[in-house]
Chains A and B, each alone.
Chain A
Amino acid sequence: MSGVPELLVLRLLTDREMYGYEIVKAVRLVTGEAIGLGEGVIYPVLHWLEESGAVKAKRKSVNGRERVYYFVTTKGKKRLEHLSNEWQRVSGGVNSALGDPGGATGNA
């Protein structure tokens, strides 16, 4: 499951800029609550993505609240593409093993 939060966050941020709470709610929504991140844990992921240049943050004052909005960068889009391909490859492999474990072993 390593890299899943990163993948989900980047995917969601390609649609529009969001702040942490919105991202957590969106993750819950798009995954049908299959993936429940500890909500506070989203911030180290976001900060790490920012540090690596995949996302950028900007502060906005909304209704007297200070929000930190994140949006994905060109580098982040490339990273998302790479992670998506990797995820498809891994999940395809796992699905294939679950569907036909003998065949998968026999092919190895």
Chain B
Amino acid sequence: MRESKFEALKLELLQGGVAPVYIARTLLELEEHYTDLEQDALADGLSREEAERSALAALGSERHIAAAVLARPELRAWSVRYPRFAYCVRSATTIGLIPGMPVMFCIEHRPELTRWAAAIMAAATFIGGILALLDWMIVPV
């Protein structure tokens, strides 16, 4: 139940380009804060429903919290803060990966390629053996 309390806030922060590390921290700290508020309210004699309402009211609306986070550009992901630099890095990485892709493919599919190479070598040895046998059997006139 508790995990879904700040889902709307999470979505808004993600859409706003906030760095994932700060989104995770914000949600964790809000959850803990909410629990503290709820426990204090229960200790004050409020019912569970009243304690939940009171805790959420004290924290403030998710929209308000999201606005406070989004007002701090320093908390946004670097790719959002420096989009041109991010595009350059992405392009360079992509270009750099192109020549490496066959190698990566070979590493990733190493067992299949090993079996395939072994099968080819076995077939070549077999065919080569037959040809050598035929060469030996057929005596040139």
Residue ranges of A at the interface with B (Cβ–Cβ < 8 Å):
19-21, 24, 38-41, 43-45, 47-48, 51-52, 57, 65-68
Contacts and interface: CB of A to CB of B under 8 A. Distances in A.
A39 B68 contact: no
Given A44-B71, A47-B26, A39 B37 contact: yes
Interface in B63-79: 64-65, 68-69, 71-72, 74-75
Instruction: Give chain B's interface residue range (CB within 8 Å of chain A).
Output: 20 to 34
B134 to A, nearest CB: 75
Given A48-B72, A51-B75, A41 B36 contact: no
Contact of B29 (A38, A48, A68): A68
B13 to A, nearest CB: 10
Residue from the set A24, A47, A48, A67 with the largest chain B CB neighbour count within 10 Å: A47
Given A39-B59, A40-B59, A65-B32, A47 B68 contact: no
Given A44-B26, A48-B72, 10 more contacts: A19-B29, A24-B33, A39-B33, A40-B30, A40-B64, A41-B64, A45-B68, A47-B22, A47-B26, A68-B29
B28 interface: yes
Contact of A40 (B22, B25, B60, B75): B60
Nearest to A24: B33
Contacts of A24: 33
B58 interface: yes
B64 A43 contact: no
Interface SS of chain B: helix
Contacts of A19: 29, 32
Nearest to A57: B25
Contacts of B68: 38, 40-41, 44-45
Contacts of A52: 74
A58 B73 CA distance: 23
A43 B60 CA distance: 12
Contacts of B26: 43-44, 47
Contacts of B29: 19-20, 43, 68
4 closest A-B pairs by CB: A38-B60, A40-B65, A40-B59, A41-B68
Nearest to B56: A40
Contact of B64 (A38, A45, A65, A67): A38
